[in-house]
A = this chain, B = another copy of it.
Amino acid sequence: MQPLRIVSYGLGPIGVRAASLVLERKGLTLVGAIDTAADKVGRDLAELLALAEPTGIRVEGDARAALERLRPDAVIHCTSSFLPAVKEQLLEAARLGIDVVSSTEEMLVPELQHPELARELDQAARAGGATLVGTGINPGFAMDFVAVVASAVCRRVERVRCVRVVDAGTRRLPLQRKVGASMSTAEFDERARSGGFGHIGMRESVALVARGLGLQIDAIEQSLAPVVSERAHTTPFLTVAPGQVAGIRNIGAGKRGGETVVELDLSMYVGAPDPCDEVFLEGEPRVHLRFEGGLPGDLATAAILVNTLPSVVEASPGLKTVLDLPPPRFRP
């Protein structure tokens, strides 16, 4: 079989990791790279990936021109968390019949927050003969997909609970900042009120689980609270003093008549002991699944994006979710 021809679209922290993985795989060939940042356009991808040898792939700033010229089998898309911000990017690929695996968190269940936009994307994808899907480790796997897959063994599922504990101290600085590490609680509260804070995609994870298992819900709620450190923790980037914020606890709840039927409990903070990912299904049988040590965020997201490429290329056209495709898996 010919290797699939892939373009990396968006060269932030996840995008460059995903591009590196594509370069490693026998079954994939990286044929292009797109990013609009002025400090990236024109450079050889090797510089962004910290490779010793040039790749011969120059970062292009004009996405449409690049996609029209290269006509790849699929794009790995890592530009923004929010669907309205990436709409035109996805429509361009869809019209050209180019399949897309996107890390855009809102793409996990696009119609949840953007039903009009989802319809438009689906129509464009069908018309152009492209498949579009959003995934990642969270949302996309640890707190949603895994729970749905575990339900395969169940006669009944009545309630789902997922717990994810991440030691933010082992992650990159932007993530430590994103969870508020080393802030005062007053600062944290102020930023939390302003909105653009905490984990993105929680609502989509709740929705994916509920829809996947046919659990009726009438509301999705979310809470965000600081985890305050009791003792000092020093990461490679910063120090959290006792009494300062170490990170977040973010709980998503899918409710039916006031009762929680889907609970996703995410803790990301510096110094979290015993990181893990767990799924609890209440039903028959009860299922308790645990990833010892937890799943590493950035590497795993890049890996899932790359591991989803063959499925998205084989799938029928349209806007899909991860539940519509054969499961992603490592392939050399």
Contact = CB atoms under 8 A, between A and B. Distances in A.
Interface in A272-319: 283-293, 295-296, 299-300, 302-304, 307-308
Interface of A: 21, 24, 27, 137, 141, 146, 148-157, 212-214, 283-293, 295-296, 299-300, 302-304, 307-308, 323-332
A154 B137 CA distance: 11
A152 B148 contact: no
Nearest to A140: B152
Nearest to A287: B291
Contacts of A152: 141, 303-304, 307-308, 327-330
A330 B287 CA distance: 13
The quantity of this chain's copies bound in the complex is 2
A32 to B, nearest CB: 22
The 5 tightest CB contacts between A and B, nearest first, are: A153-B300, A151-B330, A152-B328, A288-B292, A214-B332
B151 A149 contact: no
A250 B150 CA distance: 24
A287 B289 CA distance: 13
A149 B325 CA distance: 12
Given A300-B153, A330-B152, A288 B291 contact: yes
A326 B329 contact: no
Nearest to A331: B214
A299 B331 CA distance: 32
Given A288-B291, A288-B293, A330 B154 contact: yes
A285 B148 CA distance: 22
Given A283-B330, A331-B214, A295 B141 contact: no
Contacts of A157: 330
Contacts of A151: 307, 329-330
A330 B214 contact: yes
Contacts of A330: 151-152, 154-157, 213-214, 283
